[in-house]
Structure 1
Amino acid sequence: MSELTRAHGAGALGTPPGTSGHPHTDVPPPIDPTSTETQPLDVVVVTGLSGAGKNSAGRVLEDLGWFVVDNLPPALLLPMVELGARGDVRRFAAVVDVRSRAFSSDLQEAIRILAEAGHRPRVVYVHARDEVLVRRYESVRREHPLQGSGTLIDGISTERALLTGIAGEADLWVDTSDLNVHQLRATLENAFAREGQTPPLTATVLSFGFKYGLPLDADLVVDARFLPNPHWLPELRPHTGQDPDVRDYVLSQEAAAPFLDRYTDVLRLLIPGYRREGKRYLTLAVGCTGGKHRSVAIAEEFARRLSADGIDVAVQHRDLGRE
């Protein structure tokens, strides 16, 4: 059983979500029945693939002080937000599941209407690889909500197709395939735990190993395999890119400094453009063969440089420890 399932049991990140039909927060906000005006709210819509961890993401947001409602149909999104705005809610989050064949277009329209009403909606799209979803469903012996008379993978494929539209417009993609609950919490805290004051752009620098697959939620992918591999040096092989001896070896290579300088210049060109276009989250993935030496050292250096430029940066090492 995965750490995700062990940590939370039923309804955890590794478990397909159920339908509770009630908010995480037990006490609803007080309502002024005489008020007809509503204040703009920060709104987060958590959606994505069944079994990928939407409900776990909702629980994290609740712990961060958001008023969270489970399994809200898209048509009720604006009424619930306005209801909260008439009370003392200022940060509202809804976990939205597939309900109908028109789900994606319904949700996209609901988000558009929210924005036109003056609210500040953001979409978090939670997903995972097919084989991971299959394993999670099989571990709890449940059917996929769109499986019908077909197979489990049929249901996953149908849902993935239905979510294509909203996935393409999401502000933040969270791939939980290789995340445990603590890493999921860290990802969402980095994005939302700022008393409602989200910075213009938050960068995540992620190291990975190509032999374990590309990270699906990366905006930019950098290949560090052109540098000599410390794996072939017996004295460096047991260490990682976080250790000074490996870091110094990688960064001292002749091509390392020009590469870092030029790609940092590219990031300095891209980031203002991303901000102008309203993009709030950037994931830069740095890969090497196994995700242990070169990619880790280069990712840490990119993070240091971006932080020095005033960018809010989080560093993750997806495959560190897998070898």
Structure 2
Amino acid sequence: MQDVRLVIITGMSGAGKTQVVRTMEDIGYFCVDNLPPALIPKFAELCTQSAGQVNKVALVVDIRGREFFGTLIQVLEEMETQGYVYEILFLEASDETLIRRYKESRRRHPMAPHGRISAGIASEREKVESVRGRANHIIDTSVTTTAQLRDKVISLFACECAQERMSITVVSFGFKHGMPLDADMMFDVRFLPNPFYVESLRRKSGTVEMVGEYIWKWPITQQFMEKLSALLEFLVPNYIQEGKNNLVIAIGCTGGMHRSVFVAHKIYENLRSKGYKVNIEHRDVQKNEVEEHNESYAGPPDKDG
């Protein structure tokens, strides 16, 4: 299948397919759960016609498909003759592990909805054996934690480098407008020198060069940025290794117009220079501009920064 990576996820019920699918979605795969094997060729054809919009696909095909599952080998052979390329990821676990997981979740085994779990596992092993023999990758999750399983899947199927797995958003804000609820890390920069008290800078944002020069000229600003950069240089790679996909770093000052905007830009540039995928948002700059327009009719402006 040209320009499309197709991964078929299968294996024993209870071996961790749900966790694998979540990881595949996180690293950019278009995932479909419990797809009948007969529909795989048609789905693959649609992906090749998507003009690159769908280029990483993961399909879960397992025993839940009942009688349809028995046609999987035949469908795969037909796809090979048609020139489609695919990979099979088979999830395995010991009988003891699977029984324990079913007991803990209080779910019924699909092959033994009204019988013993052990009987359902034995029946399923027999039915999936032929698919297991064709697998490109086999992961035994008997003694594997969720984090370890995630790392294995990422190492096998993530095409991008580690820096690109995490999406980082740097947000500047003003405390008087409320703190961002989705922030993972928040830094208060109200201790830095405030351009608000310089008449020529008061109505200019932290994106303006002369405002930035004023904030940066103070030794405390440079010391703070040095320490903050070192902290992020330590934290971000460890967050990635732990499996975090999204990181929101919030920088706050009084009004979200001067100091927080400048510091947010500094962090953005620093992380971007290290190869991370970074976005930047200045949440409250526009609010300050609107307030300044109204304040000319309502007396002196509030102290802002």
Query: Rg bigger for which structure?
Result: 2
The structure where helix makes up a greater share of residues is 2
